[in-house]
Amino acid sequence: MSADPYIQVAIQEFDKTIAHLNDEYSRLQVGRANASLVEHIMVDSYGSLQPLKNLANISVPEAMTLQIQPWDKGMMAPIEKAIQQSDLGLNPINNGAAILLNVPALTEERRKDLVKIVGKFAEEARISIRNARQTAHSKFKSLASDKTISEDDAKGAEKKLQDKVDASNVKVAELAKAKEEGIMTV
C-alpha cells in the first residue's frame, strides 16, 4: 500500500476548490452584464425549484443589460419574483416578451465591497485546501502507525502533497489578484 491514492484524492479536492472559486468569481457583478450573474437563481416552476438557466434564454444585448426570455411565458412572474428576492439588488423590467435587467455602473464604494468579497472567497478556498491537506496528512500518519508504509514514505508523501498545496494556493492568489484588478478597473 502506498500514500499515492490519498494524494490523488487531495489533488482532486484542490481542483474542485479552484473550479468552485472560478464559479463564484464569475457570478460577482463587476459593472457589466454577464449571464452568470443570474443563471443560478432558483425559480419556483410549477411547484419545484429550478435554476433560471433551465427555464429561459439569458442573453446580453448591450454591455449593461441582461435579457431573460422564458421558454414558457407563464414563467415571467415567477422569474421576476425570484430576481427581486435574490441578493443581486437588480430591478427586473417586464416588457411582456422578456425581462430586462439593467446592471448599474459600479461606484467606488461597491468596488471596494466587491474586493472584500473576492478576498473572502479566496480565504474560503485556502481553508478548503488546508482541510483536504489535513485529511491526507491524517491518512499518512495512520498508514505509518499501522506500519503499512514506512516513516520515510510518509514524509515523502507529505512533501509531495505540500508541493501540490503550494501550487494550488498560488493559483488561488492569482485568481483573486486578477479578479480584484478587473473590479477596480474603471
For cell 446580453, the residue is 60
Q: Which of residues 102, 130, 159 is at a domain's end?
A: 102
**Statement to judge: residues 180 and 142 lie in one domain:** yes
67 strand-pairing partners: 59, 100
Q: Supply the CATH number for residue 75's domain.
A: 3.30.1360.40
**Statement to judge: residues 162 and 128 lie in one domain:** yes
**Statement to judge: residues 139 and 157 lie in one domain:** yes
Number of domains comprising the chain = 2
**Statement to judge: residues 115 and 176 lie in one domain:** yes
Sequence-ordered list of residues with C-beta below 8 angstroms from that of 20, at least 6 positions apart, any chain: 125, 128
**Structural contact between residues 49 and 36, judged by C-beta atoms closer than 8 angstroms:** no
Q: pLDDT tens digits, the chain, 186 residues: what are they?
A: 688 888 899 999 999 999 999 888 877 766 677 787 888 889 988 889 989 889 999 998 888 888 999 998 888 999 999 988 887 777 898 988 899 988 877 788 878 888 888 999 999 999 999 999 999 999 988 888 888 888 888 888 899 999 999 999 999 999 999 988 888 876
**Statement to judge: residues 62 and 120 lie in one domain:** no
**Statement to judge: residues 111 and 172 lie in one domain:** yes
**Statement to judge: residues 98 and 113 lie in one domain:** no
- Separation of alpha carbons 73 and 21, rounded Å: 34
**Statement to judge: residues 98 and 118 lie in one domain:** no
**Statement to judge: residues 69 and 114 lie in one domain:** no
Instruction: Note down the domain range covering 152.
Output: 4-26+107-184
- Separation of alpha carbons 119 and 84, rounded Å: 26
**Statement to judge: residues 72 and 132 lie in one domain:** no
Between the two ends of the chain, the Cα-to-Cα distance in Å is 55
Q: Which of residues 102, 123, 139 is at a domain's end?
A: 102
